[in-house]
Structure 1
């Protein structure tokens, strides 16, 4: 027993009103709370998934991971304390604020606030998207995924693997260490980039339809400077997506079509083809870094790297033989 999904994300922001528009009109979330210093948004039948709190700085506030049961929550709390990690029991007021039955909180070695909970509240009224979309892919896969920039992966790897129970899906070592972790069928719910920085890189939400992504891409292009990565496809999770500049100092990936893994049989492996098969031109990067990332995509294309067609067993067998 252990963690089963990413339940919610908390963001700190100096631009609450901008988040109102971004989360609803672009991402398609439903706003459910608009207090003076907080915004809360739904994505599905859960009462809230994204919480944005007014603050003096912009960035990640907290990550909320769902435990399989109350017993699993207690086991994890004990394991953290045995490892010398300071664990705080969430008050009833905080649990109500998070819309959960019970929670604990602690800091990972990178200083990020992590919350683990059980009993996330279910809404009685249907989800009403902020714009017409077919919906978000959540359920047992959780809210989506998060990616962190970290100074070094050395301290965080044993913490997330040995204590929290995350399992490596795949990893790359060039041009910097990049590790992807799963806790359910989603290819990765968490990833860390050993970039030497300490920051929140992005969170991802996955849509039920490619058209949701394409229409979101059209809307994002109407706003000058909103696009951070152009439309493209990732090599490891096969996601087709674009990245938008959020109102805070990180990106949001908006995607469709990611692969689903079998946690019981999946074998971790190293990847060598770079992060993207095509597209994902990183408009926010200086020219030199953009060229380096572009050359990685062109090299993969020149070698004929493709995502196997899930509907063609013959093609898969040919690729496997080659």
Structure 2
């Protein structure tokens, strides 16, 4: 597998001032660029993790996936071209704009723009979060994860697995198919939901500390209509998280304590217990929406059956690292 992590995400939006406030004061990112039509943000020692392009068509602009070196980038480009995928070697000016050594660009079967790069630029300047917090869990596991809505997951799955090399973590078949994919030790760096229409569902950032996430929840609650999902915990990656409405009509998940897997031994499997062990009530849905009721009933069923996740997977990781 050449792809090693989600390096960066680009958002198309002309709401750059709203994004500046949202990304810094709620998410806690550091703004590094305040140009007339763009905004860029840091999360760690990378020079850039999130870009807001200033384009009018709100939504996902591009996903930037990292590979380890030039050889891996060339091998991926050749595999794509042999499969009939048009690959553009980006000009150096664009690579400089992305703060990487080299990148290629192409589109998936549903026209989502994908950039793959190697050689991210690292800065020695300390990360200065936009609100008081310890920082984000990134490193070898990348920026977080990205989730697409798909009109036809059957067309996308071979592209992402056979050509790009993603591995299935787990999947749900009903009421519609959702597939989760890993490319490193993060349970999933990418997912797709086959809801019959295309679009960007959300991206996730993971915090170093539970309180970093929880204080963000309180900040979000001060803004009318900002919360989209209440605080909850997922069934598959055990992430404790909440979701907010971004300025661009998709969600952002703020999480803590996600499952770390061994990608060499992990076995994909089907899930049957719904997306959340508890919480994650969809506030954006009407109270009488059958989908919201069904999700609530799934969570009640899990409680009645006593289905629970490991109490502190993150504490286990810390103890193991100290041995």
TM-score normalised by length of structure 1: 0.95
Residue matched to 1:303: 305
Residue correspondence of structure 1 range 53-64 to structure 2 within 5 A: 53-64=53-64
Aligned to 2:156: 156
Show structure 1 runs of 5+ residues with no match: 312-322
**CA positional deviation for 1:120:** 0.5
8 Å contact 2:14–2:37 — kept in the other structure? no
Q: Which residue of 2 aligns with 1:104?
A: 104
Task: Provide the secondary structure at the position in 1 that maps to 2:211.
Answer: helix
Deviation at 1:309, TM superposition (A): 3.6
1:274 aligns with 2:274: yes
| Structure 2 counterpart of 1:211 | 211
What SS is found at the alignment partner of 2:212? helix
Q: CA deviation at 1:308?
A: 2.4
**Structure 2 spans left out of the alignment, 5+ residues:** 314-323
What SS is found at the alignment partner of 2:96?
helix
Give 1:310 shift: 5.4
Structure 1: how far apart are the matches of 2:297 and 2:13? 35
1:14 Cα offset (Å) = 2.3
Counterpart in the other structure of 1:123: 123
The corresponding residue for 2:18 is: 18
The answer for the alignment partner of 2:37 in structure 1 is 37
Deviating beyond 2 angstroms after TM superposition, the runs of 4 or more aligned structure 1 residues are: 308-311
Query: What is the aligned partner in structure 1 of residue 240 from structure 2?
Result: 240
CA distance in 2, matches of 1:98, 1:183: 21
Q: What's 1:139 paired with? A: 139
CA deviation map 1:119-174 (0-9, x unaligned): 01001211000011111000000000000000111010000000000000001101
Question: Aligned with 1:101: secondary structure?
Answer: strand
Q: Is the 8 A contact 2:68 2:119 kept in 1?
A: no
| 2:181 aligned with 1:181 | yes
C-alpha displacement of 1:297: 1.2
**SS at 1:290's partner residue?**
helix
Q: CA RMSD in A?
A: 0.9
CA distance in 2, matches of 1:4, 1:63: 13
Q: Corresponding residue for 1:69?
A: 69
CA offset digits 1:177-200 (Å, max 9, x no partner): 010000000000000000111010
- Number of the residue aligned with 1:320: none
Q: Secondary structure at the match of 1:180?
A: strand
The whole-number CA distance in structure 1 between the counterparts of 2:143 and 2:127 is 14
Aligned length: 311
Question: What SS is found at the alignment partner of 1:35?
Answer: coil
Which residue of structure 2 lines up, in the alignment, with residue 255 of structure 1?
Answer: 255
Cα distance in 2 for residues equivalent to 1:285 and 1:152: 24
Secondary structure of residue in 1 paired with 2:64: strand
